[in-house]
Amino acid sequence: MRITPRTLADGREIVYYDTDPSAPPRDADDLRDLPAQAPASEMRRDPLTGEWVGLAAHRQTRTYKPPADSCPLCPSAPGKPSEIPESDYEVVVFENRFPSFAQVTGESGTAPCQPLVPSEPARGRCEVVCFTPEHTTSFGQLSPEHARTVVDVWAERTRVLSATPGVEQVFCFENRGEDIGVTLHHPHGQIYGYPFVTPKTATMLRVASEYFDAHGTHVLGDVLAAERACGDRVVVAGEHWTAFVPAAARWPVEVQVVPHRRVPDLVALTEAERDDFVAVQLDVLRRLDALYDAPLPYIAAWHQAPVRTGREFTWLHLELFSVKRSADKLKYLAGSESGMRVWINDVKPEQIAERLRAV
């Protein structure tokens, strides 16, 4: 894969990834008149939960539902410059123009008038991953070869961001559909380099460590073995990956895609494992779109090991979930979920797995 780093007009980095040896050089200049980047990302720790909260007021002015002919993620065209200066691309990654976390400077302190709330510069990195130059397609409609390039890019960016100053955890994810909150419809994902270990990952690592101490095995490995042995909730089974609806699913549509071998992150996957993931993932995504005979809004979230802690207890996996509880109804996070983090699911996991197998 040919990797071409360039610089946008405001100093942000953009990186082109090409697998076609005949692809032209990526040397187009960004001719837009953009102000220099000056994100003021901050994070404060909640003294009641110990969790960090990011503050990024500059994101209020980010791009919101532009018309298709002004999409900032499409290749640039005459008279219509975009975030990608080239007239075409295969897969491209660039620094988010409105980042939640960035290579900011600043001093440690406390929130105004609140000495119990520590404040730190939110020093990390946020990137946008454009899966394809085609505006009207989706990840699930990519060819296996093109989807495999995206997987390789996720792994490469995980490696790069893991070495970025301040980054403690790398999170690759995709938001799809307006019902999820998407404001840019071009097929894309994002990568966050967090300056802390996220609350969900910290909880999963604690549970995995306690389980290993008690049983001498990895909890997700044992969950996977039980799901494969039973089969009631398995949606797609490949040579190296299995996709299943978790028995304690929180969302009305939820699928976990888990490798049969424990690895801490995407970087550690073999060539064969990456190939098989693509086959399983594309199968799952096409089933999700067939569930209600319409593109399903979803979040696809990669759970990877933190950069420096808990790597021996992490089992890489992808979590896919949707807010759609029927063709015309959404699941809203109301009092129990939002207030107490106690989830109430309207659908039995066994039912949704059976329906996904059937479509």
At 60, is the secondary structure helix, strand, or coil?
Answer: helix
What are the residue ranges in the chain where pLDDT is below 70? 60-65
Nearest Cα to Cα of residue 122 among 38, 43, 51: 43
Q: Is 230 annotated as a binding residue?
A: no
Catalytic pick from 58, 146, 185, 188? 188
pLDDT at position 40: 82
| Pick among 3.30.56.10, 3.30.428.10, 3.30.390.10, 2.40.50.140: CATH of 200-358 | 3.30.428.10
Whether 2-196 and 200-358 share one fold: the answer is yes
pLDDT at position 23: 97
pLDDT at position 64: 63
Q: What is the DSSP string of 228-267?
A: HHH-TTEEEE-SSEEEE--TT--SSEEEEEEESS--SSGG
For residue 243, give Cα distances in angstroms to 155, 314, 322.
20, 18, 15
- Residue 337 φ then ψ, to 5°: -70, -50
Q: Is 260 annotated as a binding residue?
A: no
Q: For the chain, which residues make up each domain, given as ranges?
A: 2-196, 200-358
Class of domain 2-196: alpha beta
pLDDT at position 60: 67
How far apart CA 274 and CA 270 sit, in angstroms, is 6
Nearest Cα to Cα of residue 304 among 201, 159, 175, 228: 201
CB 299 within 8 A of CB 320: yes
pTM, 2 dp: 0.96
How far apart CA 329 and CA 210 sit, in angstroms, is 38
For residue 328, give Cα distances in angstroms to 285, 323, 325, 332.
19, 11, 8, 13
Interacting residues of 129 by C-beta distance below 8 A, sequence separation 6+: 91, 92, 93, 150, 153, 154, 157, 172, 188, 189, 190, 191
pLDDT at position 170: 98
pLDDT at position 61: 65
Sequence length of the chain is 359
Q: Is 146 annotated as a binding residue?
A: no
pLDDT at position 348: 96
pLDDT at position 282: 98
Q: Is 135 annotated as a binding residue?
A: yes
Note if 188 is an active site residue. yes
